[in-house]
């Protein structure tokens, strides 16, 4: 297991040596991920295998974790399992990304250096839902939606744009 997962490493040296890095990184140590979490307990585990593809330094990233999010329907904690793998090319500048083979994602590695944490954090962020939600039956303390008023005359139907045509005629 690598302890220096936040330290910058030379991308080309690791790619040429086909280095494999196993990791267990605490959730609390991901600066871009933490604001989205309901709880920072736990680790992200997995490995990164460095290599080359078509002359580009690439990393195969495999992550496993249980991420604690907040359900946006009931605001209770939601455990989101992450089992993800991705293949990324590490580029020093954005213009290098133009020559990437199809289907290969890119990540910016300024001065050809990157940390394992940055690779892992990117993979975890891509695995998260845009809007975290429990299944509707699992949400806690959610009041059922109010029934629509019936047309029996009990409630006057509101039509906010009903007189809009009259205003345009003036």
30-86 pLDDT per residue, tens: 999 999 999 999 999 999 999 999 888 999 999 999 999 999 989 999 999 999 999
The pTM is what? 0.76
- Is position 17 within any domain? yes
- Is position 156 within any domain? no
CA distance 71 to 76: 6
- Is position 78 within any domain? yes
- Is position 24 within any domain? yes
- Is position 157 within any domain? no
Q: Considering only CA atoms, which of 113, 119, 99, 122 is closest in space to residue 53?
A: 99
- Is position 99 within any domain? yes
* Number of domains within the chain: 1
Pairing of the two strands 113-114 and 9-10: antiparallel
DSSP strands (E only) in the chain: 9-10, 20-26, 43-53, 56-70, 77-91, 105-108, 113-114
Residue 2 has pLDDT above 90, yes or no: no
Domain that includes residue 125, residue range: 9-143
Q: How confident is the model over 3-24, as pLDDT tens digits?
A: 577 889 999 999 999 999 999 9
- Is position 4 within any domain? no
- Is position 30 within any domain? yes
Residue 148 has pLDDT above 80, yes or no: no
Look-up of token digits 């490995």: 47
Average pLDDT, the chain: 86
pLDDT of residue 81: 96
């Amino acid at each position: 297991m690598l302890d220096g997962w936040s330290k910058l490493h030379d991308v080309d040296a690791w790619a040429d040596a086909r280095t494999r890095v196993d990791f267990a990184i605490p959730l609390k140590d991901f600066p871009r991920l933490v604001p989205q979490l309901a709880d920072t307990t736990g680790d992200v585990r997995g490995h990164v295998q460095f290599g080359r593809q078509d002359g580009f330094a690439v990393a195969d990233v495999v992550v496993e974790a249980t991420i604690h999010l907040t359900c946006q329907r009931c605001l209770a904690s939601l455990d989101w399992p992450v089992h993800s793998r991705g293949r990324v090319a590490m580029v020093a500048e954005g213009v290098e990304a133009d020559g990437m083979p199809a289907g290969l994602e890119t990540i910016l590695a300024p001065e050809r250096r990157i940390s394992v944490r940055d690779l892992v954090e990117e993979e975890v962020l891509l695995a998260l839902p845009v809007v975290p939600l429990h299944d509707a039956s699992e949400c806690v303390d959610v009041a059922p939606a109010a029934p629509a008023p019936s047309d029996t005359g009990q409630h006057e139907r509101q039509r906010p744009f009903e007189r809009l045509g009259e205003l345009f005629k003036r």
